[in-house]
Structure 1
Amino acid sequence: MGALLALASAVCYGVVDFAGGLLSRRVHFAVVTFLGQVGGLLLALVAALVLPADSVRSADLLWGAVSGAGSGTAMLFLNRGLSRGSMSVVVPVSAVTGVALSVLCGVWFLGDRPTATAWAGICVTVPALWLVAGGSRGARDGGEATRTGHGVTDGLIASLGVAVQYIGLAQADAVSGLWPVAAGRLAAVALLVPSAWRHAAEFRRPARLQGQALIIGAGAALALILYLWAAQQQMLAVAVVLASLYPAVPTVLGLALLGERVTRWQVTGLVSATAAVVLLALG
């Protein structure tokens, strides 16, 4: 069940990333990021109230806040990288490095002991994510050196945020219900207030576009809720890897809905990701 929840989280994140990528072409990244976290906070609060907790512990709320600070940072720098046009650099760097950091922390500090089959799945996932996210294009059409350098920097900072997001939320005990997710969204909103203030003029957008940003953020919060449930039933290393397969979803949606062409490297990555899912499920 934990594996299925983690995969559901990946699908949800993938759909959110696809929708967010389309919206970011029309709205400033600071607006998409901030309103997205506000939308996530609203959904998390409703979900936490509808599904009451046995006991809300301050330590779990703190871990949730740490996770939220990570996700707020990750989304800010990921969206900034995408707005600079360095998608072929920032997405694979953030996805692969974030997974690697999370798995290593789980094994070295949290006592995770994946089976040999699970390790095989983890090892397959890293290059699969790179290929699916378009990392193979970086060396060919990365553009100017400055843009590529910005993409690497944004991707690495985003990956640190991703690792903090996953590791922090996994430390929250199930007795606190969904309140750690709500605490995380509140922390993310607070963290992003300075950025939103600097770009206040960009918020003069049609209500329809702002509503879309709120809905996208709610979808991201739902993905985090699914991940939290998965991490409570599955070791961190496996839950993180499965949830991090989300880059495959925008690739498939781009092919199906936008008529985008998928390279042979991305096909290889999708096939490898499927094999990784099987190995991790068996492990």
Structure 2
Amino acid sequence: MLALVSAAGYGVSDFVGGIASRRVAALRVVIVSYPLAMVLLSVLALFVDGHVTGPAVWWGLLCGFCQAFGVWWFYAALGSGPISVVSPLTAILVAGVPVGFGVLMGERPSAVALAGIAVALVAVVLVSRGVSDEDVTEHRFTTKVAWLTVGSGLAFGLNFVVINEAPHDAGLWPLVFARIAASVMVVLIALVAGQLRVPTGVPLWLALSAGVLDTVANIAMLWALQNSLLSLTGVLISLYPAGTVALALLVLKEKVTRWQVVGMVAALAAVAMIAGG
């Protein structure tokens, strides 16, 4: 349940942030949402039992760097390459990295859970495919875009692996230090890109909402990882595109492809298989 709450939080946050990014540059949204999440997590950490230790700081900062580079490279890939290719490839890496590390660390999910992981990986790809072939002709999948796509997927996937190593008695402090590192990084990236300007009006409110949702998603992610296998939790959280697509259908009345519908049904089946296994 915690993993699914995290997936829902990330999915809704991406939807809200995506709407804001249609009005202003994506980096201008992130320089609001990330620092807000940092402040909220810092306040909440004071009320949750936890100790600030060296490992908590180290793993938290490393997680934040993964998040920052993941966002940077992902937006760069989307800006230069075909979304229909970049999004699914990134998503499959986000889901696959925790599985690989979990198995290497000795985790042995049941046969049913492993089958659920396979179904979930397929579901992530299908749900993420949401643009027409026209986008592919306008944006080429060059070598640069390929490296950016692989880099963002690995960075986001490693985010789960790294934060999973944080000591359980640290409470929410690893998330605080993760957001500190990520906030510093995105601000520097925005400065270099000439986008260090806080949005106003509706985009600002959407960015603030994304920050609140991101906070909820991060807390649920940490608690889920602490109470279950990395390989299973990471896959469940990586189903977040389903929430984004569902909201696009309900709120924006966007058309959903046949493959996306199949993907969402497969996602539900995967959740049941992983939970049952």
**Fold shared per TM-score above 0.5:** yes
Does structure 2 conserve the Cα–Cα contact (< 8 Å) formed by 1:71 and 1:188? Answer: yes
Q: Distance in 1 between matches of 2:76 and 2:33?
A: 14
Match of 1:179 in 2: 173
Aligned-pair CA distance for 1:219: 1.6
Residues 15-70 of structure 1, C-alpha deviation per residue, up to 9 Å, x if partnerless?
Answer: 001111111111112212222211221111111112231x3221122111111111
Q: Distance in 2 between matches of 1:208 and 1:85?
A: 28
2:200 to 206, 212, 221: 206
The alignment partner of 2:272 has SS state of helix
Higher mean C-alpha deviation, range 96-105 or range 178-187:
96-105
Match of 1:215 in 2: 209
Aligned-pair CA distance for 1:196: 1.9
Aligned-pair CA distance for 1:203: 0.8
Aligned-pair CA distance for 1:188: 0.7
Higher mean C-alpha deviation, range 13-22 or range 185-194:
185-194
Please tell me whether residue 9 in structure 1 is matched to residue 3 in structure 2: no
Match of 1:39 in 2: 36
The alignment partner of 1:209 has SS state of helix
Aligned-pair CA distance for 1:204: 5.6
The one-letter code matched in structure 2 to 1:32 is V
Does structure 1 conserve the Cα–Cα contact (< 8 Å) formed by 2:28 and 2:199? Answer: no
The one-letter code matched in structure 2 to 1:154 is L
Q: Distance in 2 between matches of 1:160 and 1:34?
A: 22
Q: Distance in 2 between matches of 1:196 and 1:141?
A: 26
Aligned-pair CA distance for 1:87: 2.6
The alignment partner of 2:175 has SS state of helix
TM-score (norm 1): 0.90
Match of 2:225 in 1: 231
Match of 2:114 in 1: 119
TM-score (norm 2): 0.92
Q: Calculate percent identity across the aligned residue pairs.
A: 35
The alignment partner of 1:113 has SS state of coil
Aligned-pair CA distance for 1:80: 3.1
The alignment partner of 2:88 has SS state of helix
Structure 2 counterparts to residues 1-283 of structure 1, below 5 A: 4-53=1-50, 55-84=51-80, 86-108=82-104, 110-134=105-129, 141-144=135-138, 146=140, 151-200=145-194, 203=197, 205-206=199-200, 208-283=202-277
- Quickly say closer, same or farther: Cα 1:204–1:234, change in 2 above 3 A: closer
Does structure 1 conserve the Cα–Cα contact (< 8 Å) formed by 2:90 and 2:149? Answer: yes
The alignment partner of 1:50 has SS state of coil
The one-letter code matched in structure 1 to 2:108 is R
- Quickly say closer, same or farther: Cα 1:122–1:45, change in 2 above 3 A: same
Residues 236-260 of structure 1, C-alpha deviation per residue, up to 9 Å, x if partnerless?
Answer: 0001011111000111111111111
The one-letter code matched in structure 1 to 2:101 is C
Q: Distance in 1 between matches of 2:84 and 2:162?
A: 28
Higher mean C-alpha deviation, range 98-107 or range 198-207:
198-207
| Structure 1 unmatched ranges of 5 or more | none
**CA RMSD of superposed structures (Å):** 2.1
- Quickly say closer, same or farther: Cα 1:39–1:81, change in 2 above 3 A: farther
- Quickly say closer, same or farther: Cα 1:149–1:139, change in 2 above 3 A: farther
Does structure 2 conserve the Cα–Cα contact (< 8 Å) formed by 1:40 and 1:218? Answer: yes
Q: Distance in 1 between matches of 2:239 and 2:2?
A: 13
| Structure 2 unmatched ranges of 5 or more | none
The alignment partner of 2:46 has SS state of helix
Does structure 2 conserve the Cα–Cα contact (< 8 Å) formed by 1:121 and 1:280? Answer: yes
- Quickly say closer, same or farther: Cα 1:138–1:112, change in 2 above 3 A: farther
Aligned-pair CA distance for 1:169: 0.7
Does structure 2 conserve the Cα–Cα contact (< 8 Å) formed by 1:41 and 1:218? Answer: no
Q: Distance in 2 between matches of 1:228 and 1:70?
A: 15
Q: Distance in 1 between matches of 2:231 and 2:87?
A: 20
